[in-house]
Structure formats: C-alpha cells, structure tokens
Structure 1
C-alpha cells in the first residue's frame, strides 16, 4: 500500500511513491515483537510496536477493545482487528483516516531472513 494522496507542499507534485509501509516481526522473549508503520489516506499514519503471542499459527495481541490478529493467508500476512477502533478514541495507534484491519503484506516482499521484515503492503 502506498499513500495515494500525498503531494509535495512546495510544488504539488505527487510524492506517494516515497511512502512505503513497513512491517517487522522478530522473536522476543516467549513471543514476538511486531512493528508496523503504514502511511495511508491524507498521510494519516498507523504505527505501533506490540509484543504478541502465538496461538494456533497466528500472532495475537489482546487489548481492552479486543484482539489484534496477524495471520498468514495464502501468500500474505494479514491484519484483522474485527472492528476495533484504531484511532485516538480506541487503540490510539492510527490517525483519523487510517486503519490496520485488512492490511496485507506479501510474503514475496520479505527481505530479511533473520528479522522477517516486509515492505510495501498491499490491500
């Protein structure tokens, strides 16, 4: 996923190709540390670093509002939040016009074998 509505403040040229989503998953203690940075519509950001536990082949983060799930679906890592509000009135990890539910990261873009990092999310 790239920011489709990103424009340079001086000359108005599109700079959407300069924004790339980043996801890293690394072993941490008894679970995993999942870091996400996603630039979406109108340059609203989703960004977090969560410790997640493994359950039934998925990574889970339990919150006061419900679960954040990262699971492999075919050739993608897929985020599911089942309607949890990720903005300031909920989880507080996204801007007003951004969301993590449904984000997909293609496994073909994996670029570090020791850290499992992906760039360039697609939806």
Structure 2
C-alpha cells in the first residue's frame, strides 16, 4: 500500500447562503482518498461507517482504486454525522450538530496489507 488514509467517513448537512444539502456524503477520509487517487495508488482507508452510508459512494471509491478492507460497516448504528452553516464569506462556519454514532467505535486495528504503507494521512 502506498498511502493509507485514517479518518472520518460521514454524512453531513450543509447550509450556505445559497442553499441547503441534507445528509450528503462527507468526511475527511472520503474526500482525501478520492482526491489522492488521481495521483497515487494504491490507497487504503481505515474508518468506520454506519448502516446508512451510501453503497454508491463505496462503489465510487473502489472504482477509483481505493481499497476498502480497512473500512468497517456497523450494521445497527448510523454513520458519524455533522451539520454546519457556512457564512457569506464561505470560509467561516458554525457547527450546528455533531453525532458521533459509529465513530465511538473507530477500528483499533489496521489491516496487515496497510502496515507497510509509505505514507499515512490522518483526516
């Protein structure tokens, strides 16, 4: 494994002066892996998702060459959730709500295939 990303895969509700999006895919690890996959492979993710995380996003990650063996899916709890409101400058924001949910059970082990990664990025 060249790069391992350890961090959040989440669902977000985002408010801006221009609109609102409910329960969209978020999380630093999700988007770090998607962006990095354009430049470096193989990539693995260490994270935990809930029973509500969209399967099509997992497929999108895999289609871009991201290995998901380090992603644990909890079958009875929802995903980490964050809600925020961005200000007019689109740079500052307020957190409206945070629900840790499955994040309280973040995986304690890293797959063997990930342990010799050249790079580790925490997100």
TM-score (norm 2): 0.29
TM-score (norm 1): 0.29
Structure scoring higher RCO (CA < 8 A, sep ≥ 6) equals: 2
